[in-house]
Amino acid sequence: MSSDEVAESAIYLSLGSNLGNREEQLSRALRLLEAHGIEIVTCSSLYRTDPLYVLDQPHFLNLVCEVSTRLSPRQLLDSCLAIERQLGRTRRIQKGPREIDLDILYFGQAIIEEPSLVVPHPHLGERNFVLVPLVEIAPEFHDPRSGLTIAELRDRCQDQSGVEAVGRLEW
């Protein structure tokens, strides 16, 4: 298998938090992913990001990680939702404040369209808080819908919200 094939089969998750001890929430989420049989291959830097859509809320801490798992996309989603529940996520307002948020960005080159699971994530191309950390770890990954690389998606993104690297997360 070539390195291009390995890269194109990668699974990417986005993690974010803007309530409570954000760094601890993200660290715990990464540890829980591993406890669910989801190996963390690499993580981006930690980014302080402006809220998007609902502006009257605290800033977020976000990161993107590449993972490896034998789970199906549905099982991975179920694990992510279970981790959110375990870490106390309460869904108050859509796109509003949250203790933790885990999203599947890509599951290799799979295109999945189900009522509760859409992969690639349908809004990732509109979001600096996803694209900037994803460019850090996978600039040449090709989006299966557009054929563009992540770097090209970032260059075309209209989102002007702030995204600032603030270090690395220990977990």
**Catalytic residue status for 98:** yes
In this structure, are residues 49 and 98 in contact, taking their beta carbons and an 8 Å threshold? no
Let me know: does 33 contact 83? Beta carbons within 8 Å. yes
Instruction: Determine contact, residues 84/41, Cβ cutoff 8 Å.
Output: no
Options 48, 74, 103, 156, the catalytic residue: 103
What are the beta bridge partners of residue 66? 12, 42
The verdict on whether 159 is a catalytic residue reads no
Catalytic status, residue 156: no
* Calpha distance 33→82 (Å, rounded): 10
> Per the residue annotation, which of 101, 143, 145, 155 is the catalytic one?
101
Structure tokens at 45: 């830097």
Catalytic residue check, 91: no
Specify whether the CB–CB gap between 52 and 93 falls below 8 A: no
For residue 30, give both structure tokens.
């990464």
Among residues 22, 98, 127, 154, the one annotated as catalytic is 98
Catalytic residue among 28, 74, 85, 89: 89
Distance from C-alpha of 78 to C-alpha of 167, rounded to nearest angstrom: 29
Residues involved in catalysis: 89, 98, 101, 103
